[in-house]
């Protein structure tokens, strides 16, 4: 079982409009609601790849009930979310059908009480007992300590469970110092962490700060991996057009599934890059266009190797 942690789960609401124009009203052509949050998206992709996935984090209120109801319709995903008093947040994505651009509005999330955080720590430690890997994903809701991910990383490492971190800002800075097995930032998050906009230099610096392996998402430029074994870059043949929301989460799912399957690094990166690109062609985060994925899987260009470390 692969465990994904989404402390700030969400009800993802996607609106599609013909063209998004400020200061005007819009007629929505299509609307969808799905369980969301980065780790939930990761779990749904893992399940689609044939892996058993368990999601945990906080859930509460009317929106929380909607998340759990929709999560029950996701085959292969086990719900281990912990109920809290505050309501689960909503995230609103507005897709401009004319340009393909997406505008995202993210609520902050529920206020987590100290007792609720303490209950989660016990719950998390219990779940680790059956996990082959764990992903710590996304933002922290109000009330959760800013060093939460650092503590969760140490707990996973003590249990002998490989741990991936995918977050940003101060939680990322503190988390990387706890030595996660894999860090998966995007280009902006990596630059914020290291102060460098040169991906090669920044991934090396992130490893010096504590991450054992860094795989950076670089948008249309693919993925850059700096590992203990070497350095690789994986680039899709073309840029896919569509909704990029969740592309990074699909890359995480590709990396985690390949880690559990003990694939070599070029194959791990090919899978992650193909999934990320195929998600751009899907209607929402947590999904990927399987035909695009299968087509791209054999077309990803992977360069580098062990001698490049």
Question: Is residue 73 among the annotated active site residues?
Answer: no
How confident is the model over 92-125, as pLDDT tens digits? 888 888 887 888 889 899 999 999 999 999 999 9
Question: In a 3-state reduction of DSSP, which class is residue 253?
Answer: helix
- DSSP summary character for residue 206: H
The pLDDT, as a whole number, for residue 242 is: 61
Residue of 166, 249, 267, 289 with catalytic role: 249
CA-closest candidate to residue 3, choices 130, 125, 126, 134: 134
Burial status of residue 93 (CB atoms within 10 A of its CB: 0-12, 13-18, 19 or more): buried
Strands 10-17 and 214-217: unpaired
Taking the C-alpha atoms of residue 217 and residue 135, their distance in angstroms, rounded to an integer, is: 16
pLDDT in tens, 249-280: 999 999 999 999 999 999 999 999 988 888 87
Task: Give tens-digit pLDDT for 127-186.
Answer: 999 999 999 999 999 999 999 999 999 999 999 999 999 999 999 999 999 999 999 999
| CA gap 177, 121 in Å, rounded | 20
How many Å separate Cα 279 from the centre of its chain?
12
The Cα–Cα gap between 170 and 164 comes to 17
Q: What is the DSSP letter of 186?
A: B
Q: In whole angstroms, how far apart are CA 216 and each of 16, 100, 207, 269?
A: 30, 24, 12, 11
Whole-prediction pTM: 0.90
Strand partners, 231: 226, 305
């Amino acid at each position: 079982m692969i465990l994904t942690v989404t402390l700030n789960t969400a009800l993802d609401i996607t609106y599609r409009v013909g063209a998004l124009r400020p200061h005007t009203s819009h007629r929505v052509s299509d609307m969808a609601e799905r369980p969301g949050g980065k780790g939930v998206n990761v779990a749904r992709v893992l399940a689609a790849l044939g892996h058993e996935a368990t999601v945990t984090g906080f859930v509460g209120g009317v929106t929380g009930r909607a998340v759990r109801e929709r999560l029950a319709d996701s085959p292969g995903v086990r719900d281990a979310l912990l109920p809290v008093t505050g309501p689960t947040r909503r995230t609103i994505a507005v897709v401009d059908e004319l340009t393909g651009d997406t505008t995202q509005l993210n609520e902050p999330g529920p206020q987590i009480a100290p007792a609720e955080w303490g209950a989660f720590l016990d719950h998390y430690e219990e779940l680790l007992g059956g996990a082959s890997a764990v992903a710590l994903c996304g933002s922290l809701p109000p009330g959760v300590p800013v060093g939460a991910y650092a503590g969760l990383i140490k707990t996973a490492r003590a249990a002998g469970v490989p741990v991936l971190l995918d977050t940003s800002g101060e939680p990322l800075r503190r988390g990387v110092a706890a030595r996660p097995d894999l860090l998966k930032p995007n280009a902006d998050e990596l630059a914020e962490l290291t102060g460098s906009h040169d991906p090669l230099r920044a991934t090396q610096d992130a490893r010096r700060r504590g991450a054992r392996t860094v795989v950076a998402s670089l948008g249309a430029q693919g993925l850059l991996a700096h590992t203990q074994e070497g350095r690789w870059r994986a680039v899709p043949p073309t840029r896919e057009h569509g909704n990029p929301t969740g592309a990074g989460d699909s890359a995480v799912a590709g990396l985690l599934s390949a880690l559990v399957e003990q694939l070599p690094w070029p194959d791990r990166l090919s899978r992650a890059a193909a999934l990320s690109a195929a998600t751009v062609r899907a209607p929402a985060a947590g999904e990927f266009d399987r035909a695009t994925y299968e087509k791209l899987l054999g077309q990803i260009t992977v360069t580098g190797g062990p001698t490049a470390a």
